[in-house]
Amino acid sequence: MPEARVAYLVTSYVLPDQVLRLVRTLRAGSADAPIAVHHDDRRCRIDPSALDALGVLRIEPASPVAWGEASQLRMVLRCLQWLLRSAEFDWVVLLSGQDYPIRPVAEIEHSLSEAPVDAFIETLPVQGPSLRSREVDEFARRYHYRWHRLPAAPSPVTRAASRARPLVQLRRMPSGTWVGVPALSSPFGPDLVCHRGGDWFTLARRAVEAVDRFAHARADVVRHYGRTLIPTESFVHTVLANDRSLRLSGDTRRFTRWESEAPRPRVLTAKDLPDLLASGFDFARKFYPAVDCAVLDALDCHLG
């Protein structure tokens, strides 16, 4: 069986030196792999000449992205469509700038050549909210409510929303406070069951094509997700989970560590190295050199 041609899509907005370190490692492990970077440069700039020297494709102009909002999903869909038009690949691996391979890149690509599935992605069904209870499931709130950002959230609004639960929900996001109410109409039903999972996945080309096709054919679903929160953790998952022609693995091939109730994975350090190397996963996140650079140095030695 011929080796799979694997493309790497890196999305970032901070830590440009760490992004360059990641793409250098990918290039060292795979001389001809398509590597594409979408870097939102409003906070910091990444050196384009350094990317060019590594043969990295730049997706430009960069889309301004607000974490957890519709702009993030639009960026992911745009990048996947860009890859379909601009690169030859059998698989695409979606990475953040704080990811890093934890086994040799050649091994990762060889294992994808033999993969019996079309996608490594987590897909868990999301039930609609029960309005009989004051407590609404986190994911039901995200994807079955319509959300609007408030220009401000004075205490009277907060108190009124609290009294109106579960019909009204409040959520603090990096851009401010958002208010949500149950969607009066929804694309979800027996023929399209809402699913959710982690942001980061590995998709065969036919799965990427399925997502792109769906996004063009179902503008109503795209619009619905445009009024949800953190849509990148549901849209692709919902599309693929409802496509019976695709074979999915719930294994994301990613290593993360979570503290109890934490909204994001813990920064990995050298203390995690034995578990990283023993996991058998392809990539891990997240890394932050200001906290611990030794773990990346040790991984470089392991990757050879």
The string of pLDDT tens digits covering residues 202-247 is: 999 999 999 999 999 999 999 999 999 999 999 999 999 999 999 9
More confident residue, 176 or 78: 78
**CA neighbours closer than 13 Å in the CB half-sphere of residue 174:** 7
How confident is the model over 278-288, as a mean pLDDT?
Answer: 96
What is the tens place of the pLDDT at every residue in 288-302? 999 999 999 999 998
- pTM for the model stands at 0.94
pLDDT of residue 264: 85
28 phi/psi in degrees, rounded to 5: -65, -35
Contacts of residue 78, Cβ cutoff 8 Å, sequence gap at least 6? 59, 63
- How far apart are the C-alpha atoms of 15 and 91, rounded to whole Å? 26
Q: How confident is the model at residue 157 (pLDDT cuts 50, 70, 90)?
A: low
255 phi/psi in degrees, rounded to 5: -105, 125
- How far apart are the C-alpha atoms of 264 and 96, rounded to whole Å? 13
pLDDT of residue 67: 93
pLDDT of residue 152 exceeding 80, the answer is: no
Contacts of residue 69, Cβ cutoff 8 Å, sequence gap at least 6? 173, 175, 229, 231
What is the CATH topology of the domain spanning 6-124+193-303?
A: Spore Coat Polysaccharide Biosynthesis Protein SpsA; Chain A (3.90.550)
How confident is the model over 117-122, as a mean pLDDT?
Answer: 98
Here the tokens at position 54 are: 């590594």
CA angle 138, 40, 197 (to 5 degrees): 25
pLDDT of residue 167: 82
- How far apart are the C-alpha atoms of 80 and 57, rounded to whole Å? 13
Question: How far is residue 165 from each of residues 67, 131, 158, 181, measured CA to CA in Å?
Answer: 25, 9, 11, 9
pLDDT of residue 210: 98
What is the tens place of the pLDDT at every residue in 120-150? 999 999 998 876 666 789 999 999 999 999 8
- How far apart are the C-alpha atoms of 295 and 100, rounded to whole Å? 10
pLDDT of residue 162 exceeding 70, the answer is: no
More confident residue, 263 or 173: 173
pLDDT of residue 136: 84
What percent of the chain has pLDDT above 90?
A: 82
Contacts of residue 150, Cβ cutoff 8 Å, sequence gap at least 6? 157, 176, 177, 178, 179
Every domain of the chain and the residues it spans:
6-124+193-303, 127-182
Q: What is the mean pLDDT of the chain?
A: 93
Which of 46-50, 97-101, 170-174, 223-227 has the least mean pLDDT? 170-174
Cα 175 off chain centre by: 19
Other C-beta atoms closer than 10 Å to the C-beta of 41 total 15
